[in-house]
Structure 1
Amino acid sequence: MTQPNPQPSPEPPGWPHCGHGATPADPVGCRGIHVGEHAVCLAHLDEADRFAYLAALAPGADIDHCGTPFTPELLGQLLNALRDPATGRPQFGDAWFARSSFSDTAWFAGSSFSGDARFYESSFSGEAWFAESSFSGEAGFYGVSFSGDARFHETSFSGEAWFVKASFSGEADFDVASFSRKARFDTSSFSGIARFEGTRFEKAPHLGPLVCDRQVVLDGAVFEAPVTLEIAAPRVSCARTRWASTATLQLRYAELDLRDAVLEYPVLVAARPDPFPSFGSDSSLPEMELSGQDPGVRLTSLGGVDAAHLALHDVDLSGCRFAGAVHLDQLRVDGWCTFATTPTVWNRRLPWRWSRRNTLTEEHHWRSRTARRPALARGWTTPPQDAPNLKPAAVAALYRQLRKSLEDGKNEPDAADFYYGECEMRRHDTGRPWGERALLTAYWALSGYGLRAARALAWLGAAMAVTVAVMVLWGLPADDPKPTTTGRQVAAGQQVTLTTDTPDPANPAGPWSERVTAERSEKALRVVINSVVFRSSGQDLTTTGTYTEMASRLAEPVLLGLAVLAVRSRVKR
């Protein structure tokens, strides 16, 4: 987002100005303010008058050189005139450089500003060095254009710091700086890296809105008061950042890194759906270099973070590494937060594909590392070199904690996916007993851990079909047994004794064409359907049919229950 140096205003400034070099094209000429009783600015004073003016200055003097064009030599002469012999550092009282221009390198490093410093709408065409300087009053850099690098390393701002509408074409270095009061970067733009590493913000209620074309680095920064960060940038790094109070991070286009961040109070990370407003106008903050990209927020790492105070809203978690974080069960996941998913394409070498579910990137890394054949690793994310090599038990623990977080947020469907992932990792954990892993394997194969209704129904249909076939072929007797009455007569007393008996059902012995009939199939189906709902059919069965019905009454209701459980897990509120 490189911006050109601001062109001089065609209107004359509000102070008595030099006018040197006026032309028909620029009738105003030099905008530099008059020096004392002279009718020219410091840049256009003759050598004798300039020497006399500079000789009269003392460390801590108030100066006013608005609109003055400074070369490195002229700036050096001014700084030498204000240099304290005891410290060797230039000391300013009130310093007015509004609309001044600084060609080549502007070296203010180590300067002390005991009063207000005003650089409003000034232009630095080279590097601007304010490293290790101190601003006791207001530091006004409103509308300043930095064409080169801007160095504020270890600079102390005791008063309000105004970088509103400032543009940084090079790198902006605020590392280890300290802002005791407001740090205003409203509508500021950064073409290079904006560095705030180790910076301390004591009472800054806002940082931004600002836009950066490359990266905003807040590693090791400290925010001691409630703050709202509004940043549009491709990358925002908050590694080891300390939030000593509540904070809200409103981001756009950002890939956010929160490794080892310290959250002492609730911190919200949210994706800003609309562009940020521009300071002092009804328009939006320009995002020219970022427009056309995905404006969402992608969290890359929570390693080393105590997530008890963290809330995420509308954040892409598909590439987030959770390993190393603690209290993930207390993480708040709200809005439309998305996770990684299983590969959804059919595998050409294998006649199946992975069932679709939300996953963690740690499972992707594990499956990619442990795949026995390249075909099994297809679609799983390859781990980067710095990714930890986690065992299945560790991944299962991550799933378990995040499942609890989703359940507490009443997100039962997504929590079910994480239960599936937890069971998968437990099934592949060779450190668990063989019997437990076998049981989990059966649970997975039959119903996808009670979460795949289609799988359970398929097994139920197959079991019913086999049961029907066994009943038709061997379970139903050839004919329904008819009761037989037998008796004997006692002659002396004319007593008759009768016994009624039902013979055992006879196994069918005819050819299959006589066994497989519509009547027998209908009877077998009734037997099987009754067994699914734990009822006895009341049908006379052969010995084979009796045991088949007993097995059916045990297994098939279980499969039906697993299917119902799977449907319930997907529609539960």
Structure 2
Amino acid sequence: MSPTLPSPARPRWPYCGDGVSGGDRAGCIGRSKDPHGACLAHLIDRDRDTHLTGLAPGDDIDYRGTTFTAHLLDRLLGALTDPATQQPRFGAAKFGSAVFAGPARFASATFTGDAQFNSATFHSDAQFGSAVFTGDAWFSSAAFVGDARFGSAVFTGPARFASAVFTGDAQFNSARFHSDAWFGSAVFAGPTRFGSVVFTGDAQFGSATFSGPVQYDSAAFTGDAWFSLAVFTNDARFGSATFHSDARFRSAVFGRAVSFRSAVFERADELGPFVCAGTVVLSGARFNGPVTVSIAARRAACVRTRWVSTAALRLRHAEVDFTHAVFEYPLSIAAEQEPFSDEDGPLCEDRLAGTPGPRVRMMSLHGVDAAHLVLADLDLTRCLFTGTIHLDQIRLEGDCAFATVPRRRRLRPWRFTQRRTLAEEHHWRSRRPHPAPGWHQAPATTTRTGPAQLAPVYRALRKAFEDSKNEPDAADFYFGEMEMRRHDGARPRAERTLLTAYWALSGYGLRAARAALWLVAAMTATLFAMMLWGLPADHWKPETTAVIGGGQVRLPAEKPDPVNPGNALHERLTTQRFEKSLRVVVNSVIFRSSGQDLTTAGTYAEMTSRLTEPVLLGLAVLAVRGRVKR
């Protein structure tokens, strides 16, 4: 027989006391059996046989503090076995502080009264599979050193496992809890399985600790599900679980990934806030009521997640995949700048050390209907927008950062103009022959897109900014739209040539400096053309002066054709000719004629300048207006 475990305190029930006489130590604390002074384990064989023979199925029993070997427990179960069912049947069963040295085989047993296993210790496997607890089931502070198997068990009354310790596997698959289930502050050191379990009442796992992998797949929570302050060291799975009421995960901590794949939240008004060091999987989940989701995690997968009512996602640190998410009412996704808080202060985010910061990075909106979507303070530098429906109706609030073109190269600073761009343009340009450095390559799983697909995306985002009265920021997306049209090989060559000229002259009417440089260049060319060939050699005088009969007579002179200068080119570059040429050029910029006599070449040069230079000036003014327009 295994040695008894002495207790530092004397129990409240009549106890055996075997092994110690006097003093403060109680010795064996097993409940003594009348009329004997010893517990079942310490009765002499004849008295033990008499006691067991007197038991009948359904009797109330009291073996608190008793140490059971496998053989002794089998004899007890045999005495309580119902001949009709061939299974043990207990009335009120008191095993508080009992010690089970061997396997505890209570599988398929029926407890018609309260079953009390408070502070019991199971040194080997505890087998309660398919057991039925009609009354209250008390396992508070129990210690399961071996595996605890409660698969398919039925708890009609409250099940209390508060502060219980499960050292081995804890298996509750397909169990049924028809009343409240209390696992608050319980410790699960090994794998924990609650697959397909049904909680009709409240399920209380507050402050519980799960060191091994946890599985609640297909579980049904009819009452409130409380996991506040729970700690999950390993993976946790709630796949296909159904939460009919509140799902409380406030201040929970997940050391690795947590999956709610295909879970259903019927009336949960909030999920979180909690911290996850890995990935939070909400893919395929369904939220049937208004909800606020507050998560600090490395990644959040919301692929094909469905929100039937209004929803707000408040995130920190996460990379969010929103591919094919479905929502019929307004939904907002915002990055929280400060850590989430509870009654004890800010949630600890030490497990998220190494992340770029609290900035939330949206990775994909592919397949999303963005008509009711609001994004606030998100990093969109790697977000995939291709395939998003009603993208022109999306609302971008706060500081939403987009990708930018590569930084200018030192040797060719004119190569790239800084502007906001889409991640897909980076991917497309990186695939082109001889791509410039700085364009990011696409992930291996990303669908390839080209200018034909990107032009409508840029157009829709431009309209979204314009509808929100943000004309300056809309300019970058207009630039991107025009770039995609210019590079789209399916468009007519004439259109692409026109767009190329528009880009070269003024950056599609958005680059004031470029248009101004072309204007200065055109004016300079016109100026030199006028000085060298445009101004006639001699200045025409409208009248001729002569002296006749001692008097001076002025006669009008016929205007001759302007004579091209014939002197050397450098001799034509005089201050007088520069002033006249400058007057012609300046007047040409504003569609005015200077009235200056010009040669044939000068006339055509002036006509050309009066056509091109005002256009360049208008493009420069248009670009400036685009950047300062309200």
* Correspondent of 2:309 among 239, 245, 252: 245
Q: Does 2:198 correspond to 1:134?
A: yes
Counterpart position of 2:515: 456
Post-superposition offset of 1:551: 1.0
CA contact (8 A) 2:90 2:113 kept: no
Q: CA separation in 2, counterparts of 1:231 and 1:270?
A: 11
SS in structure 2 at match of 1:89: coil
Q: Does 2:86 correspond to 1:56?
A: no
Post-superposition offset of 1:41: 8.1
CA contact (8 A) 2:89 2:112 kept: no
**Structure 1 pair 515–151 and aligned structure 2 pair: CA distance change class (3 A):** same
CA contact (8 A) 1:70 1:101 kept: no
Counterpart position of 2:394: 331
AA matched with 1:159? G
Deviations 1:264-304 (A, max 9, x none): 111100001100113x32x1111012145311110111111
**Structure 1 pair 274–463 and aligned structure 2 pair: CA distance change class (3 A):** same
**Structure 1 pair 42–82 and aligned structure 2 pair: CA distance change class (3 A):** farther
Counterpart position of 1:192: 256
Q: State the percentage of identical aligned residues.
A: 50
Moved over 6 A (4+): 27-30, 41-46
Instruction: State how 1:139-178 maps to structure 2 within 5 Å.
Output: 139-178=203-242
Post-superposition offset of 1:50: 7.1
Counterpart position of 1:229: 293
AA matched with 2:160? W
Which has the bigger relative contact order, CA under 8 A and spacing at least 6?
1
Q: CA separation in 1, counterparts of 2:267 and 2:114?
A: 28
**Structure 1 pair 314–123 and aligned structure 2 pair: CA distance change class (3 A):** same
SS in structure 1 at match of 2:396: strand
SS in structure 2 at match of 1:440: helix
Q: Which moved more, 1:515-524 or 1:57-66?
A: 57-66
* Correspondent of 1:372 among 433, 436, 439: 433
Instruction: State how 1:46-85 maps to structure 2 within 5 Å.
Output: 47=73, 51=77, 55-56=89-90, 58=110, 63-70=115-122, 73-74=125-126, 76=127, 78-82=128-132
SS in structure 2 at match of 1:420: helix
Counterpart position of 2:51: none
SS in structure 2 at match of 1:228: strand
Q: CA separation in 1, counterparts of 2:125 and 2:573?
A: 109
Q: Does 2:537 correspond to 1:478?
A: yes
Q: CA separation in 1, counterparts of 2:123 and 2:326?
A: 45
Task: Give unmatched runs, 5+ long, in structure 2.
Answer: 1-7, 18-24, 29-59, 81-87, 92-109, 135-149, 547-552
Q: CA separation in 1, counterparts of 2:122 and 2:76?
A: 13
Q: Does 2:324 correspond to 1:260?
A: yes
* Correspondent of 2:359 among 278, 296, 304: 296
Task: Give unmatched runs, 5+ long, in structure 1.
Answer: 1-10, 21-26, 488-495
Post-superposition offset of 1:540: 1.7
Counterpart position of 1:120: 184
Counterpart position of 2:166: 102
* Correspondent of 1:316 among 373, 379, 386: 379
CA contact (8 A) 2:129 2:151 kept: no
Deviations 1:28-58 (A, max 9, x none): 999xxxx975553898997489747974162
SS in structure 2 at match of 1:260: coil
**Structure 1 pair 397–528 and aligned structure 2 pair: CA distance change class (3 A):** same
Counterpart position of 2:47: none
Q: CA separation in 2, counterparts of 1:72 and 1:431?
A: 74
**Structure 1 pair 72–240 and aligned structure 2 pair: CA distance change class (3 A):** farther
CA contact (8 A) 2:89 2:111 kept: no
AA matched with 2:90? A
Q: Which moved more, 1:411-420 or 1:232-241?
A: 411-420
CA contact (8 A) 1:71 1:103 kept: no
**Structure 1 pair 240–267 and aligned structure 2 pair: CA distance change class (3 A):** same
TM-score (norm 2): 0.79
CA contact (8 A) 2:186 2:209 kept: yes
AA matched with 2:616? L
* Correspondent of 2:574 among 511, 517, 528: 517
Q: CA separation in 2, counterparts of 1:531 and 1:450?
A: 21
Structure number with greater Rg is 2
Deviations 1:183-206 (A, max 9, x none): 000000001210100000000001
* Correspondent of 1:354 among 382, 392, 416: 416
Counterpart position of 1:568: 625
CA contact (8 A) 1:232 1:252 kept: yes
**Structure 1 pair 88–383 and aligned structure 2 pair: CA distance change class (3 A):** closer
SS in structure 2 at match of 1:289: helix
**Structure 1 pair 67–509 and aligned structure 2 pair: CA distance change class (3 A):** farther
Q: CA separation in 1, counterparts of 2:467 and 2:349?
A: 38
